[in-house]
Amino acid sequence: MIEETAVILECAGEYAQAQTERSSACGDCSSRSACETASLKEEANKEPDAILQVLNPINAQPGERVVIGFEGDALTKASMAFYAVPLVSFILFAIVGQWLTSSEGVAALGGIFGLVVGLLWLRYFSSKASQDAHYTAVVLRRVGEVSANLECSINPDASGLNH
């Protein structure tokens, strides 16, 4: 699971609007003042943070800092759909157009048609994915909460104490 820190903006039923907080390892680095990568990260962090609709099973309230989680495989599948499907569709339709007529113009039109088909499929995929909880981020815990089982049982014989 991929985790990210966010702030709850508003709640609506079982969902909440959460604004993610951009973070970088550069903030803790001792040589960041002389590092070009750190200055590039600072420029990137000036962009507005993402606002997501997330499931809110812990009933976090507006203003609370929370940790949200994304399923790693769902993120991979969605990324592949958004990047690969339109590109592959574009290339396949261009190849078919070229193969059918041996004309570059028809190949170009086939590619454009394939891109449109890929984008229409992507629109369908996104509408289905938005209704699937597997593709939805979830509020996991409030920031600062310990997510460990703190129950323990002490066996007086195993503690090494003599009474």
Tens-place pLDDT, residues 24-51: 555 556 665 666 665 555 555 556 678 8
Mean predicted confidence (pLDDT) in 74-89 = 88
What value does the CA radius of gyration of the chain take, rounded to a whole number of Å?
25
DSSP for 58-105 reads: T---TT-EEEEEE-HHHHHHHHHHHHHHHHHHHHHHHHHHHHHH--HH
Mean predicted confidence (pLDDT) in 111-134 = 89
Instruction: Report how far residue 42's alpha carbon sits from residue 30's, in angstroms, rounded to the nearest whole number.
Output: 15
Mean pLDDT of the chain: 78
CB 19 within 8 A of CB 49: yes
For 44-64, letters b (16+ CB in 10 Å) and e give eeeeeeeebebebeeebeeeb
Is residue 162 predicted with pLDDT exceeding 60?
no
**pLDDT for position 60:** 86
Q: Tell me the pLDDT band of 148, cut-offs 50, 70 and 90.
A: very low
Mean predicted confidence (pLDDT) in 126-136 = 80
Residues in CB range of 33: below 8 A, 6 or more apart: none
pTM of the model: 0.56
**pLDDT for position 53:** 83
